[in-house]
Structure 1
């Protein structure tokens, strides 16, 4: 039986880099309604702040399905009690296999480990599958906590203490 394994991984490992490129290609292509070029992907990833997704300011997670890099996500500590969920992505070939839920749970655990009591995120209105995932996991719409050209809706969730 094929299964998921999820673990912290350096954002610049070969698997994480490939997933980050696929994530950017997916969201940019959806926004532009055409395939993103390699140059556009390179430009989008340049200076995107991913280096902050390392302790003590954050973490990056890679999920593998049957050993193949299939999903990723990050947590960025914003302040003493709040973390931001970012770069949540499951490659299309691996969607519908329960990996997104496992990824969300692990990312929330990682946020707790960093000291967060609340998780927030921002996304676009057209990313309906992502928005549905967040709502299924208890996220509710909140007022904007940041601004940017691709931020159209914001979500938040209080994180319960980890089970002992």
Structure 2
């Protein structure tokens, strides 16, 4: 489906979309469904809140997912908070977010995108590879990261990849 709308949003740890992100990512890590205490603790102790570019993808007025970018300097942007709610997965929402973030990056002078991802997030690693991200050496000290990716951007408009 190509009827996704990607808009600029504001990252807030306590938003419903981010809450769903935390439940999903923390639940997968711990391998359990009830992670309310862990989510509450993470939101309370969150120190990684520098997300100056934050996109939300929606369809029919319902927020389906999000993706953020922070600036590392020297034309490098780091992707963070990639998330698509379960009912919308496999329908192109994540691809729409990646196209949107590439356009937002180029508008801000970012020519290289980087990200890290946990080893258990196989779908995410496949998504990034599909969109031209190549695995690179560790570039940060992210506690849970197992894989690091990079993509060099061109000034051409990102190609739609659904």
Using structure 2 for the length normalisation, give the TM-score: 0.89
Cα offset, 1:36, TM superposition: 4.5
1:48 corresponding residue in structure 2: 47
Match of 1:19 among 14, 17, 20: 17
Q: C-alpha separation between the residues in 1 aligned to 2:84 and 2:130?
A: 16
Q: Structure 1: give runs of 5+ residues left out of the alignment.
A: none
Cα offset, 1:162, TM superposition: 3.6
Q: Structure 2: give runs of 5+ residues left out of the alignment.
A: 158-162
Cα offset, 1:148, TM superposition: 2.5
1:35-83 deviation line (CA, Å, top 9, x unaligned): 2522311222332322x222xxxx0011111110111010111112100
Find runs of 4+ consecutive structure 1 residues off by over 6 angstroms.
none
Q: How many residues align?
A: 156
Is the 1:117–1:159 Cα contact (8 Å) retained in structure 2? yes
Cα offset, 1:97, TM superposition: 1.3
Q: How large is the RMSD of aligned CA atoms in angstroms?
A: 1.9
